[in-house]
Amino acid sequence: MVIGEAAIRAGCRFYAGYPITPQNEIPEYMAEHLRQVEGGVFIQSESEVAAIHMVAGASAAGARSMTSSSSPGISLKQEGISSLAACQLPAVIVNMMRGGPGLGNISPSQGDYFQATRGGGHGDYRVIVLGPATAQEMADLTMDAFTLADQYRTPVMILADGMMGQMMEPVVFKEPQPRVYPEIYIMKGAGAGKSKFIRGLILDPLDMEEHNWTLDRKYQVIARKETRHELYGTDDAELILVAYGTGARIAKGAIKRLRNTGLKVGLFRPITLWPFPTNELRDLAKKVENFLVFELSTGQMLEDVRLALQGFARIGFHGRPGGVVPTPAELANVVTRQYDRKQGIIEHH
């Protein structure tokens, strides 16, 4: 609901979605409220594939567009996300992750990290991935997602999970930024002007190569400029937990417990999952030697942390896949088991 309201306030005027738990609150909210704003169109599509492609059409026609789904539905949408990236069309995609693989279950999980941060569909492309951890951040990042999507003409994904989707917290909506999107990219009938075309099929290998490099240059700019992260109690920390989204919330609870016992633990929370804040994390390794990655998966973000820290630090890991949400107490216990003041992280990953 927060996402729906934030999207409408940010100027989203087209939403297409399909029923899947645990994200039905978004289409239901949009069904009621998007139609009440001027020019707002809500469509419940006949399938996930149709929804993402309707978003592509609406985006090409110049509307701020959004779709949402949960893990299995996002898998179905990948063809559309790949072509949005290829056609350089802005769009916002919300993924309320649930347990997988397959239909899995409907409990909170973080098993789609790979899919989201590596592009997800076929071809050489990336999607900007934002990982909110509070309802407030869901509102803020949804608004930012539309701005980023327009600015870089690329699909942006909000990666949250079933727990974030069902959470209740007070939210203050910020003032939305006015939209900057050159008319040259909008298809609206040739009329007196020049005709435009949008395509994702480029048969000539040399042309296609050029297109790939163009996209890559754009992704490099994003990677340089758009990383976001949060530091929590890292100033005096001897051990740093790395977690995002719901995982980071649990980690904060665990850190409070551990600090009460005298163990100085901090948190590094990536907010952009792609681009991953690699340099910022590596900077921390200059003064801290031990890191512990915590995820609601079998270890996906762990790979990005390894790429950032390999050789610089000792990395431990704790994961609970399949929709299990552990308590902060469990995580605190894991930390005391895996971390020894003299030896550092005992099980090095």
- The residue ranges that bind another protein (CB under 8 A) are 18-21, 24, 27-28, 31-32, 35, 42, 44, 46-48, 72, 76, 102-103
Query: How far apart are CB 21 and another protein at their closest, in Å?
Result: 5
Tokens of 20: 């899947």
Rg (CA), the chain: 21
How far apart CA 161 and CA 236 sit, in angstroms, is: 31
Query: How far apart are CB 49 and another protein at their closest, in Å?
Result: 8
Query: How far apart are CB 24 and another protein at their closest, in Å?
Result: 5
Return the number of the residue (150 or 161) whose C-beta is nearest another protein: 161
Tokens of 105: 């279950």
Nearest to 20 by CA among 70, 76, 78, 81: 70
Q: Which amino acid is at 319?
A: G
Tokens of 267: 């948190």
Query: How far apart are CB 166 and another protein at their closest, in Å?
Result: 13
Q: Measured between alpha carbons, how far is residue 54 from residues 48, 91, 305, 319 in Å? A: 10, 11, 36, 37
Q: Measured between alpha carbons, how far is residue 181 from residues 62, 75, 109, 147, 178 in Å? A: 8, 29, 35, 9, 10
Report the b/e string of 178-216 with b at 16+ CB within 10 A: eeebeeebeeeeeeeeeeeeeeeeeeeeeeeeebeeebe
Query: For residues 162 and 112, is the Cβ–Cβ distance under 8 A?
Result: no
**Considering Cα of 14, then 16, then 21, then 24, what sign does the dihedral take?**
positive
Query: How far apart are CB 347 and another protein at their closest, in Å?
Result: 30
Return the number of the residue (44 or 151) whose C-beta is nearest another protein: 44
Return the number of the residue (102 or 191) whose C-beta is nearest another protein: 102
Query: How far apart are CB 101 and another protein at their closest, in Å?
Result: 11
Return the number of the residue (28 or 79) whose C-beta is nearest another protein: 28
Return the number of the residue (29 or 152) whose C-beta is nearest another protein: 29
Return the number of the residue (46 or 204) whose C-beta is nearest another protein: 46
Beta strand 265-270 with 229-232 is antiparallel
Query: How far apart are CB 243 and another protein at their closest, in Å?
Result: 28
Return the number of the residue (16 or 128) whose C-beta is nearest another protein: 16
How far apart CA 258 and CA 174 sit, in angstroms, is: 34
Return the number of the residue (27 or 247) whose C-beta is nearest another protein: 27
Query: How far apart are CB 35 and another protein at their closest, in Å?
Result: 7
How far apart CA 228 and CA 32 sit, in angstroms, is: 33
Q: How distant is the alpha carbon of residue 34 from its chain centre? A: 23
